[in-house]
Amino acid sequence: MLGKLIKHEFRATGRLMAPLFGALLLLAVFSRVANQILQQVPNPTRVLYIVSVLLAIVYVLAGLGVMVFSTRTSLPTRAISCSRFPSVSTACSGRS
């Protein structure tokens, strides 16, 4: 029973997180390509610098967003378990 629960939990988490990690991977690839182009061009223009910096900023913000989103997905589960089993969970009462 626990195996089935874990299997379904991994599938549900994968449906949420796989697109986010895919987007993060694409941003990393685009950022790498932009940096390689910037290093290969003998006289880079200001536009290339701006694109490279913007891609790096978007990558960092997307990484932070993935971290925040991954911690936020566990909160509804805790709220549901607290509403169903308030006497069992110490997290519901705020005691540690």
What is each CA distance from 1 to 9, 47, 60, 88, in whole angstroms?
A: 12, 57, 39, 20
d(CA 81, CA 45): 56
In the prediction, which pLDDT does 83 show?
59
In the prediction, which pLDDT does 96 show?
46
Averaged over 3-20, what is the pLDDT? 85
What share of the chain in percent tops pLDDT 90?
15
User: Which residue in 11, 4, 16, 8 sits closest to 73, CA to CA?
Assistant: 16
Averaged over 10-38, what is the pLDDT? 87
Question: What does pLDDT average to over the chain?
Answer: 79
59 has pLDDT over 70: yes
Averaged over 15-36, what is the pLDDT? 89
